[in-house]
Amino acid sequence: MQIAKTITEARAMRSTTPGKVALIPTMGALHDGHLSLVAEAFNYADEVIFYIFVNPTQFAPHEDFDSYPRNIDDDLAKLASVGISKVFMPTVDEIYPPENVPFEIDVPNLNDILEGKHRPHFFGGVCRVLTKMFNIIQPHYAIFGQKDYQQLQIITALVRDTNMPINIIGAPIIRESDGLAMSSRNVYLSEEERTHATALYKALQQAKNLIETAGETDPAAVESAMHDILSAHNFKIDYATVRHPHTLQPLDCIEPNLTGGVVALIAAHLGNTRLIDNMIIASPKNDA
């Protein structure tokens, strides 16, 4: 396996990679959800470059940057098992040299709602690191999980608005057998919290049933049903809401024929662990 640790090495790795190249950006602590991105990437590209970088600029000082799970040896073994042979693994100083003047990327409209409202620094940090990584690797494709739904919309907007010649591909959410979406943060859950965590999926399914089967058109009724399920399982809710699938703005009414359906999104805390999940509803491309 070829491992690049510096930007110079990453550029050399990229320049000797022929054909169409896909980049898979991650913060490591890999699970089957990340590995499914590899199969998705090979549907589009001849070669895949994988990066592992826990990005400090998307964490607030009170968040879990220091304790974020890091299992490099395990990650590299998993990557080798799914056919990855090129990995970029820079240090923080390599990506953010202390002498650099930091450049902020603002994401108006999408940054002050949902995740952006609860984690105001988050999307600026994500856009900043991805702009760097896209410039370093210059991939034809970049693959992201749909679990971070708002992040996927923002990255798509970033690439479109800055005219980067990169196709952003969203890959389906991968779930455990009881419905919990795979996440590197699931390891924080105690045994008891893990049994309650499946309520996220139950709440999303309830939203789907209400809209698709019962014909509910009032977003407030759907949101209230999601809140009831989450509260019954000890979740402290940041948001549990039904939104327009692209603008992520609130809806007055759920129109069954709304192009692309609607998206139900949840962010909630179970003990000290914050989990997010989502589901596209009433669209021909359902995540069920």
Active-site residues: which are they? Answer: 34
Segment 137-196, which members bind ligand PAF (CB under 6 A)? 148, 151
Residue with tokens 């390891």, as numbered in its chain: 187
- 264-275 per-residue burial string, b: 16 or more CB within 10 A, e: under 16: bbbbbebeebbb
- The pair phi, psi for residue 279, each rounded to 5°, is -150, 130
Nearest approach in angstroms of CB 215 to ligand PAF is 35
72-81 and 32-42 helices, crossing angle to 10°: 40
Q: Does residue 26 interact with ligand PAF by CB under 6 A?
A: yes
Among positions 4, 22, 25, 225, the unique one binding ligand PAF when judged by CB under 6 A: 25
Please give the size of the binding site for ligand PAF, defined by CB under 6 A.
10
Q: Which stretch binds ligand PAF (CB under 6 A): 10-18, 25-33, 217-225, 246-254?
A: 25-33
Q: Which stretch binds ligand PAF (CB under 6 A): 73-81, 102-110, 126-134, 240-248?
A: 126-134
Q: How do strand 262-270 and strand 273-281 relate by DSSP bridges?
A: antiparallel
Q: Does residue 126 interact with ligand PAF by CB under 6 A?
A: yes
Q: Which amino acid is residue 48, in one-letter code?
A: V
Strands (E), 12-88: 21-26, 47-52, 86-88
Closest to ligand PAF by CB, 158 vs 225, is 158
Among positions 7, 22, 23, 27, the unique one binding ligand PAF when judged by CB under 6 A: 27
- DSSP tag of 70: -
Residues forming contacts to ligand PAF in the complex (CB under 6 A) are 25-27, 55, 58, 126, 129-130, 148, 151
